[in-house]
Amino acid sequence: MAQQLALPWTEKYRPKHVAEVVGNADAKEKFVAWIKTWLAGTPSKKAALLYGPPGVGKTTLVYAVANDFRLEVLEANASDVRTSEALKRRIMSAVRELSLFGYRGKIILLDEVDGITPSQDRGGLDTILQIIEISRHPVVMTANNPWDPKLRKLREASMLIEFKRLTRYEIISALKRICSKEGILVDYGVLKEIAKRAKGDLRAAINDLQAVAYGKKRVTSQDLMVLWERSAQLNMFEIVRSIFMARTASQAKSVLAQPNLNYEMLFHWISENIPYQYGESLEAIAEAYNALSRADVFMGRIKRLQNWTLLPYALELLTAGVAVVEHKPKFRFTRYSFPQKIKILSLTKEKREVRERVLEAIARKCHTSKREANLEYLPYIEIIYESNPSQGRKILRWLGIGERTFKKIARKKEA
């Protein structure tokens, strides 16, 4: 359970040592050799530009090398350097100074130099060239695309080190390491699918792994659903539009052919946007909401009873029921808005998750359902905790709920 509150795995498992950085052996070797020339006082080039696709370990390698060689990293996002005069001054003096006690030196890291837009600001790139010029320490830059003409001078001043996409095999092996450290058992097919989707980007793969393994000890191909749902949200605008535009039931239902439609999300989107789309006709709004409310009844039953045979009815209402209404106004282009409800839900996500865990703990200990725990147990525990904290703490201890966790969700005492 503890893993639910944990750090993003990309951070938790960011390699600390060069040896742990997967893949791109040539790039690693070249970079380490270059740092060594610096430490020996004879660098061939003052700067290095690590370039390649996202999520392959460019930034990670810099930190790992720094750690292995006891170097301090002074990092600045390259585009910040230009916007902030103060930051620029700080870096300018830092690159001249020696390192803090205990370090053998430092690395100046300017991350994502391709983010600089010279059209808006000529100074940014010049500042970096200046930094390279005066620095007494290795200057390392990273970029996804180093071939942009605007970066020509930086390229000339730097040792170029190319990173390639990671292979599927490399990604799978990195994922396996995380699984074993997390103590979770993940089917090989799942790892393969995640690695395939990642297209060489280990950060994306790790994020996907965390999403599918969320709160689980054992992960099978069924859990991959989560990922499909996530990509479906991208074109929700188009889906909503085709439903409202549809003139026949079957046109409206054609969106259901989408393999990865998130029905619940669709429900909120439709619900939020009916008044905008049907604004000209109150009757149409009423009819559409009527269909939606019936869909809602079905969806509630489906969730409560896990009765999936009801799904086609709910979906029929959600699509055709909303699209084919008697007083339908002529279709107008409408700027759909993102459902408020989902916004609020995501704002309160952490709190809801904590609440879920507390309810689970109560349910488990008291041999009851989470629903009962919510209605019949939690309120009393709150009252006891408020009126007699030491008694309350005893109960929490027995339930295995941390007091801090509990306080996060407990209702606030009236002032």
Which residues of the chain form contacts with ligand ATP (CB under 6 A)? 10-11, 13-15, 21-23, 54-60, 142, 144, 174, 202-203, 206
Q: Which stretch binds Mg ion (CB under 5 A): 54-62, 203-211, 285-293, 373-381?
A: 54-62
The token duo for 85 is: 């005069």
Which segments of 233-281 does DSSP mark as H helices, in order? 236-245, 249-253, 263-277
Instruction: Please state the closest distance from residue 169 (CB atom) to Mg ion, in A.
Output: 23
Tell me the three state secondary structure of residue 324.
coil
**β-pairing verdict for 185-186 and 218-219:** parallel
Distance CA 134, CA 92 (A): 8
CB-based contacts of 292: which residues, under 8 Å, 6+ apart?
Answer: 267, 270, 271, 274, 317, 318, 321, 322
Type of residue found at 175 = L
241 binds, among ligand ATP, Mg ion, none (CB under 5 to 8 A by kind): none
| Geometric angle at alpha carbon 24, from 61 and 151, rounded to 5° | 70
Instruction: Indicate the residue among 55 and 146 with the shorter CB distance to ligand ATP.
Output: 55
Based on CB atoms, which residue is closest to ligand ATP, 114 or 316? 114
Choose between 11 and 414: whose C-beta lies nearer to ligand ATP: 11
Q: Which stretch binds Mg ion (CB under 5 A): 59-67, 78-86, 130-138, 317-325?
A: 59-67
Residue 13 or 34: the one with the smaller Cβ distance to ligand ATP is 13
116 or 324: CB nearest ligand ATP: 116
Element (H, E) at 163: none
**C-beta atoms surrounding 264 within 10 Å:** 12
- Residue 414 touches which member of ligand ATP, Mg ion, none, C-beta under 5-8 Å by kind: none
Note whether 60 binds Mg ion by CB under 5 A. no
Residue number closest to ligand ATP, CB atom:
57
Q: Closest distance between ligand ATP and the C-beta of residue 39, in Å?
A: 22
110: β partners: 76, 141
Shortest reach from residue 171's CB to ligand ATP, in Å: 9
Where helices occur in 6-109 by DSSP H, the ranges are 9-12, 25-39, 58-68, 78-83, 85-94
Measured CA to CA in angstroms, residue 400 lies from 141, 393, 394 at distances of 48, 10, 10
How is the beta sheet containing 139-143 ordered, strand by strand?
Answer: 71-77, 105-111, 139-143, 47-51, 158-162
With a CB cutoff of 8 Å and minimum separation 6, the contacts of 283 are: 325, 326, 327
Q: For Mg ion, which residue of 24, 59, 158, 277 counts as binding (CB under 5 A)? A: 59
| Residue 174, binding choice from ligand ATP, Mg ion, none, Cβ under 5 to 8 Å by partner class | ligand ATP
Of the pair 25, 86, the CB lying nearest ligand ATP is at 25
Indicate the DSSP class of residue 8: P
Shortest distance, position 142 Cβ to Mg ion, whole Å: 5
Instruction: Provide the minimum distance between the beta carbon of 94 and ligand ATP in the complex, in angstroms, as a whole number.
Output: 22
- Cβ proximity to Mg ion, 55 vs 321, nearer residue: 55
CB under 5 to 8 A by kind: which of ligand ATP, Mg ion, none does 21 bind? ligand ATP
Residue 111 CB, nearest approach to ligand ATP (Å): 7
Residue 58 or 370: the one with the smaller Cβ distance to ligand ATP is 58
- Least distance CB 320 / ligand ATP (angstroms): 43
Instruction: Output the smallest distance, CB 58 to Mg ion, in A.
Output: 5
